[in-house]
Structure 1
């Protein structure tokens, strides 16, 4: 059996994805995205995406047409040039086909399979060099590699900016080390907050992370 990794990433496409832009303008998440080479235009890709209760008149730099309706959901189709540096193309440059794409709140969610951790890290590094936000939503290791079968998804997006700052500073100062490199008061002083505020933020952050690890 294989030992690959199934990854789901959340990416701020930063205006490079027509689908994410159209969905954000319509105020509706996409439910599926599919694409293929445009047989009538060399170097172009034809894409389809589905929105619910939306009326999409235009996609930036592309003509979009409704092609099918499923009750309240409508499928739209458009053609675009390849090589525009969209997130999907960044992933597929590593020979990792994107197997699922959807959008929500203006963010792009990509699912693909990486052969190993090195390939996955290469994809993530490349995306982070090109786009302002790239968060790991979920990682699943193939059962063919039992040594890493407990790979755990931890969504850093669950933490507020302040909770992440508190957690990172506590870690940097050795608060979690044994013996401790710094106590709560010292970390709070470094953050210029009270000890009770530090404890509040740290406790909330740890609860969120434990919920993810323990799958609550």
Structure 2
């Protein structure tokens, strides 16, 4: 079955950690890393309009060197930097251990990683790897999931709820059933229906849509 983990990783020497702290209002997304000879390059996107402030923060960041803004758009800039820190939030040997990274983005404190782990042993190994390096490891969400299943990271109950709500007409305009109707069909409380629907929709948004646009940018 496997697990989907969302965890917050923080450390003063974690790559781009100082930049994330300095520009906490900006969302930074880890795109990919590349090695050329003895150097390791990291490509990231910074979402926002104040590119100059991000430039200054990256220039002053001791975890990277040689920062270059390689592309810019109205609400996004793409940077290439060279690793100067050995602390990379992407787990080492992902393919060998069966890890798959869905996304890696910043919050106001550090990196938030969302990844798939094939079993609890891999989860324990990932956690131990972080703690051995002094990286603060805080689990935000952990649930069973099959990455090959058509439900993405939905639990069976969430999948059942969404399908029932959809085909019963809950998402029609106007609605043909209420949450109370769904609760009666499933023999659960209306509160349980509401919670499952909210969590299921949140999971689909997190795994299938771009989530780098903040509400402010949508206004």
Describe the shift of the 1:22–1:63 C-alpha distance in structure 2 as closer, same or farther (beyond 3 A). Answer: same
Aligned-pair Cα RMSD in Å? 3.4
Out of 35, 40, 46, the residue aligned to residue 42 of structure 2 is 46
Q: In the TM superposition, what whole-angstrom CA distance separates every residue of 1:76-106 from its partner, at most 9, and x where no partner exists?
A: 221226x813332457484524331111113
TM-aligned CA distance change 1:213 to 1:128, over 3 Å: farther
**CA displacement at 1:66 relative to structure 2:** 1.3
Q: Say which of 1, 6, 9 aligns to 1:8.
A: 6
Q: What's the CA shift for 1:150?
A: 7.3
Q: TM-score, normalised by structure 2?
A: 0.55
Q: Tell me the TM-score normalized by structure 1.
A: 0.56
Q: Distance in 2 between matches of 1:100 and 1:136?
A: 15
Gapped regions of structure 2 (runs ≥ 5): 150-154, 158-194, 200-219
Alignment of 1:1-216 (within 5 A): 3-18=1-16, 20-39=17-36, 41-52=37-48, 53-54=50-51, 55=53, 56-57=55-56, 58=59, 59-60=61-62, 61-80=64-83, 84-90=86-92, 92=94, 94-143=97-146, 149=155
Paired residues, what number?
150
How far apart, CA to CA, are the structure 1 residues paired with 2:140 and 2:93?
A: 16
Deviation of 1:62 (Å) = 0.8
Distance in 1 of aligned mates of 2:105 and 2:93: 15
CA distance in 2, matches of 1:214, 1:125: 34
Q: Hey, which bits of structure 1, 4+ residues long, moved more than 6 A?
A: 212-216
SS in 2 for 1:98: strand
Q: CA deviation at 1:11?
A: 1.0
> Who wins on radius of gyration, i.e. which is larger?
1
Structure 1 residue runs of 5 or longer lacking an equivalent are 152-211
Structure 1 residues 17 and 128, CA gap change in structure 2 (3 angstroms) = same
CA shift for structure 1 position 43: 4.5
Q: Distance in 1 between matches of 2:4 and 2:98?
A: 14
Question: Residues 150 and 126 (structure 1 numbering): CA distance in 2 closer, same or farther, change over 3 Å?
Answer: farther
**Residues in 1 aligned to 2:40 and 2:135: alpha-carbon distance in whole angstroms:** 26
